[in-house]
Amino acid sequence: MQPTQQSPPAEADTTVAQSMAQSALRQAAQFKGDGRLDDAEACLLRAAIWMPDNWRTLRTLGHLRFERRHFAAATAPLGAAVALAPDEIEPRRLYANALHMAYRGDEADAQLRELARRHPSDAESVHNLGLYLNRSGRLPDAEACFRRAMRLKPDWPAPHRALGHVFLRAGRPDKASEYLRRAYRMTHGEPPDSAPPILRDATLAEGIEKDGLAVTSVAMPYGGETAQLVRLPRVVVERSSAVPVTPSGRFFSSTLDWRIYPERFDFLWSTATQRAIADKLTRPDDFAYGLVVSGHGNNYGHWLLDALPVLLALKAFPPGEVPALIVDGLPPYRADSLAAFLACHGLPDVPIAATNQPYFSVRDAFVVSDVSRAVQVASIAALRPNVEPRRRLFVGRRDASHRKLVNEDAVFAALEPLGFERADPNRLSFADQISMFAQARVVVGVQGAALANCMFCSPGTPLVIAYPDRVMPYYKDLAIHIPLRMTPVAGTIHDNRPGILPDHCNFTVSPDAVRAAALQALG
């Protein structure tokens, strides 16, 4: 079935218009069910022409565009739906979300405030306003919204979780623990105020006083900066996140890089986690003395930038007291990069302990925090060899599970005549990746972990980066600190998988736009 292109007569009979619109809506539903989303959108546009004053049709069109991650395009029909039905909750809520995702924050704020004003007893409207206020850093106002949403809907866990995140941002880990734990238990059907938890977030000051932590400032070799070396007398560590928990149940989010994405750590409030840690504490320790290094989910870029630089703190240990490195796995790129980093910075050879246990215990543990981004980048860039930059690299993501460039072959076809070669760092050794990017005169690539290798490029190297939704802060940091001459090229999202973040969506980008940016970079 193909959508037919029709326009209504200038004075279309109302009955005919409604009939044609209903037919188009039925076609749209069928096309959507078949996964033919372009056709579904065309039918919804036709229905909107036949019934321009029907807010439900406009809402449906906007919702489809929102689901397709076409946020800017979704704002027009949703805004029109709101104008036609200002007291309806759903279209205004969708409109505010689309505005936020389209980076029109002030307008999203206005819509959320209007929604809460018109519907002061609707818990979700008040909660959504709180989410925006929290993202904007207006923590007291956000707290007030979440508490109000709790009163309106006492059995709903979302505002409890959100209030926990507010307290986390405000540096109140004790209160954050209370609300995050309560939200988890409400979500999983446990009494929200049942027995005291094993786990709770705490300040380092509390850990020093009650758990015997010791915190030492360590001089970093770049820019006269310092980091913190934290010694914990005994801990149980969750492997994937590298969260160390003391026997008292305290952990210390201020030593971890996780407050930006606190929802990733909801497992800390689960009964299963509490039981696993309690069980570990009854058994002999797995390791006697070690520096816990997070593997960052086996992400190559985060391993380079966030994990390896903590090893600079090894210089603080006297000879004979250097701890083993405890990591959650040792694939070849980690083993090779560890050896290269230690040698480059004159750090001592240390034993490396890799573990695949979900939880492991350390009798005398260390973690390192507060290594600045400037130090991180400089310490990795120090591995760069002195070679002539002459190669033109195109770095794609054909084998990735997300953020694929759907028309990658077409983009490369536009670049190949300019002398670009296709680079696939995943198939190279760590030494070969360093060498390849050190030789780069210009890099064109898809936003992803492989572009972390740009730390091995010469300062001033042009980087043309294609992205689906926004340039992530990680790559902006590289551009600032190496530095790189970065040119962003925005793409169009083509991804209908439910729940996937816009940053992770598959997308297309104009080959002509990428080629033009590459030509400009080449001068």
In this predicted model, what pLDDT tens digit does every residue of 461-510 receive, in sequence order?
Answer: 999 999 998 888 889 999 999 999 999 999 988 887 777 878 889 999 99
Q: Give the long-range contacts of residues 25-30, CB within 8 A, separation 24 or more.
A: 25/57, 25/60, 27/1, 27/3, 28/60, 28/64, 30/1
Name the pLDDT band for 198 (thresholds 50, 70, 90). Answer: confident
Percent of all residues in the chain with a pLDDT value above 70, rounded to a whole number: 94
Task: Encode pLDDT of 111-120 as tens digits.
Answer: 999 999 999 9
SS3 310: helix
Q: Is the pLDDT of residue 9 over 60?
A: no
pLDDT bin (cut points 50, 70, 90) of residue 194 is low
Share the mean pLDDT of the chain. Answer: 89
Rg (CA), the chain: 27
> Residue 235 forms beta bridges with which residues?
362
Q: Find the angle CA(59)-CA(62)-CA(66) to the nearest 5 degrees.
A: 135
Would you give the DSSP letter of residue 428?
A: S
- Given a contact cutoff of 8 angstroms between Cβ atoms, the answer to whether 63 and 44 are in contact is no
- Cβ burial, residue 122 (10 Å; 0-12/13-18/19+): middle
Q: Which ranges of 68-157 does DSSP label H, i.e. alpha helix?
A: 71-84, 89-101, 105-118, 123-135, 139-152
Model pTM score: 0.81
What's the whole-number mean pLDDT along residues 339-361? 94
Q: What is the pLDDT of residue 267?
A: 77
Q: Quick check: 20 and 50 in contact, CB under 8 A?
A: yes
What per-residue confidence (pLDDT) applies to 503?
A: 85
pLDDT at 1: 42
Give the span between the Cα atoms of 202 and 249, in whole angstroms. Answer: 10
CA distance 344 to 430: 14
How is residue 247 annotated by DSSP? T
What are the pLDDT digits (tens) for 291-318? 999 867 678 998 999 899 999 999 999 9
* pLDDT score at 191: 67
